[in-house]
Each structure stands twice: as structure tokens, then as C-alpha cells.
Structure 1
């Protein structure tokens, strides 16, 4: 049985990843801060709910040790925050919130990659996936604003591009995915697509990916996004 690990698994895209992979018979390691509140995860077959706050790097290390004998085929860095707040644009930036956005959106996915590298090496598919955003694209930025979110996701992209080069010799493919504008707590009710469509598309991209494509910045339906 193939195994997927998902961070931020208790709602939105993370929950939908877990739902779809579980429905296909995968072993799902669903990581979230408060498993006792993850009622929707608890009702899914093939799902093991695990406590994980991605800002706690010691906890990441402990979880990796706990799962040391578990091969992981796909690791999905889904946990993230928007960071920017209304009225706190340039001139009134919340630098503490910016630091937190960088910790969660950029540093934590790299830490997950470090901690779970041995697990990925023992997996069959060997895919490291990070959920980014088209808002991380510098070339596509025509509206400005959202400095905290844009920079933390652009930094994530840069880090994952480097990991794609560093890990290619180990047979590990690294992919950066834009889920589209999705109707989630972060995307809001006016977003264009639902989580089911977004995740099913991203799963196809992951399943069809090749090592030669590692390092790609891709939209949920597989098109290439500009850096």
C-alpha cells in the first residue's frame, strides 16, 4: 500500500487530499495541530491522524523518529498561512506576522524535507510536494500588495527549486504546485473552484510526474507557471 503524509490535514485542501488518497486505498498520515478536533479526518478509512505543529521543529523530529520504519511515497507540505491582514500593508507592516509567515510557509516545509528524507528514500514514488501559490510568481505580480504571503511563498519556491537539484541524485522528485483559487477558509467563498477539483488535478500532476520535471512550478491542471 502506498503512503502519503499531509500537513495541515484537518481542513481545506489538506482534508481533501486525505479524503481522496484514502478513497483510493492509500495509507494516509494526516498531520494537524489538534487531532482531537479533526472529526472529519477521524471518519476516514486508511487515515492515521497525528499531532503536528509545523512551527515546532523538535516535534517534527520526534514524529520522523516515531515513523522511522514507515516508507513515504508522497509528502505534501500543505500547512500554510496568509499572514497579511487588512490595513497592514506597506507602511504598517506587521513584522512579527511576517516572521511567522516565513516560518510556516518557507522554513517548515524545508524542515519537513530534512526530517523525512530517509522515509522518502524508502518510498516507491519518492515525491516531495509543496503547495505554493501563483501569488509567489514575481513575473505574474501585476497588482502588488500581500507582501507577507508573496515573499514567504516565493522563498518556498526558491528553496524547493534548490532541493529539486540537491535531491535528484537520490531519485526524489520535488514539485511546487499552485492549487488555483479555491473555495477554502483562505481562498474565501468567491473563489473559482472547489477543493475536490483542485486536489484531483494536483493528484494527477503528482501521479504523472517524472524525475526530469523535478523543480517545476505548476498549476493544479499541469500548466507551467512563470517564476
Structure 2
């Protein structure tokens, strides 16, 4: 049975990743900050789905999670956990350093440290499965420098641009161990973060991203794609 770890699994895209992977017969480790408050996620728990506590913004939580996981192989890691940050302090004239740094820690440093901590598990998944393991990081076209035509959203934009840079390096550094990486723009999705006016729903977005993950090849390693598989501008 193939295995996947999904962070930020308690709602939105993360919850949908859990639903779809479990429905397809995968073993799913579903991680979130407060499992005791994740009612919809806990309803999915069972033989195929294990709900675990993980705060990607806390280095100690990452270390404890790594110790708990042990040496079990992973075929896919979905770095989905992230925050937008307080919008009122992402406007020129109101920028606030503490909130900016919080967003960077959760959206950039956390996924990088978690991936580093699970490198051996991913390499073991690749060796076991006969196909490369994949680190899929959910980013945004708001992290694209070329696409920024409206300004604002300083903390969120910069965090996603930094995530793109960090996880591109991670993909190149881990390729020799049989682990590939990909950056995924989910589209404008109707979720708590995306709001009610999004253009697509979570099932469509996640199904598309899973297809990109499943079709990832060494030639596409470290690429930036949207949920339809279209290449995105950095």
C-alpha cells in the first residue's frame, strides 16, 4: 500500500487530499495542529487514515513528529499547511514585522524543515516502490514575480515566492536519492482561504494536483505548475 503525508489536513484542500487518497486505497497520515478540533478529519480516521498532531511552524513539533513516524517509508509528502496572515498589515503603510515573520515561518521554513526531517522516509518510499517519491508543495501564483500586477499582500506573496525558491532547491538536492519535487498552484478555490467567489471547488483542484503529482518525471523535477498541469511563470 502506498503512503502519503498531508499537512494542514483538517480543512479545505488538505482535507480533500485526505479524502481522495484514502478513496484510492492509499495509507494516509493526516497531520494538523489541533486534531481534537478537526471533526471532519476525524470522521475519516480508520484503517487507512491516521490523524496526527503537527505544527509546521514549530521546530519542536516537527522533531517530535519525525520521531513518531520513525522509519516508515513515504511515497508522497503534500506540504499543504499554510497561512495567509493578517491582511490589514500587508498593505504599504501598515507593514508589521512580527506577522510577516510568522507567515514566513509557517509557509517557508516549516515545509523545508519538515521535508528535510522526512528525507530518509521519502528515499525509503522511492526504493520500496520502484518509482520516485514526490514532495508536492502547495504554493500560489501570488508567489510569481512575473504575475504580480496588483501589488499588496506583502507577507503572503513573499512567503510563496520564497517557498518556490526553497523547494526548487530541495527538489534538485534530493533527486539523487530518488525523490522528486513539484510546486503546485491549486487555482482560485472556494475554501476558507480562497473565499466563496473562487472559480473551482476543492475536489476539482485536488484531483488535478494529484494528476500532476502522479505524472511527475525527472524532466519536470522542481517545476511550478497549476492544477491543470500548465507550467507557471516564476
TM-score (norm 2): 0.94
User: 1:136 aligned to 2:138?
Assistant: no
**Aligned pairs for 1:33-72 within 5 A:** 33-44=33-44, 45=46, 46-72=48-74
Match of 1:79 in 2: 81
Given that 1:9 and 1:18 are in contact with CA atoms closer than 8 Å, whether structure 2 keeps it comes out as: yes
Q: Secondary structure at the match of 1:6?
A: strand
Runs of 5+ unmatched residues, structure 1: none
Match of 1:14 in 2: 14
Deviates more, 1:96-105 or 1:159-168: 159-168
Given that 2:88 and 2:94 are in contact with CA atoms closer than 8 Å, whether structure 1 keeps it comes out as: no
User: 1:197 aligned to 2:204?
Assistant: yes
Match of 1:155 in 2: 162
Report Cα offsets for 1:105-131 as digits up to 9, x if no partner: 000010011100010011134101110
Aligned counterparts of 1:105 and 1:167: Cα–Cα separation in 2:
20
Aligned counterparts of 1:119 and 1:65: Cα–Cα separation in 2:
11
Match of 1:177 in 2: 184
Match of 2:103 in 1: 101
Report Cα offsets for 1:34-59 as digits up to 9, x if no partner: 11111212222411000111111111
Given that 1:84 and 1:147 are in contact with CA atoms closer than 8 Å, whether structure 2 keeps it comes out as: no
Report Cα offsets for 1:164-188 as digits up to 9, x if no partner: 2111111110100000000000000
Given that 1:3 and 1:27 are in contact with CA atoms closer than 8 Å, whether structure 2 keeps it comes out as: yes
Given that 1:84 and 1:149 are in contact with CA atoms closer than 8 Å, whether structure 2 keeps it comes out as: no
Shift, 1:88, TM fit = 4.5
Q: How many residues align?
A: 227
TM-score (norm 1): 0.97
Shift, 1:69, TM fit = 2.6
Aligned counterparts of 2:99 and 2:154: Cα–Cα separation in 1:
11
Shift, 1:21, TM fit = 0.2
Deviates more, 1:119-128 or 1:172-181: 119-128
Pairwise CA RMSD: 1.1
CA separation of 1:166/1:43 partners in 2, compared to 1, >3 Å: closer, same or farther?
A: same
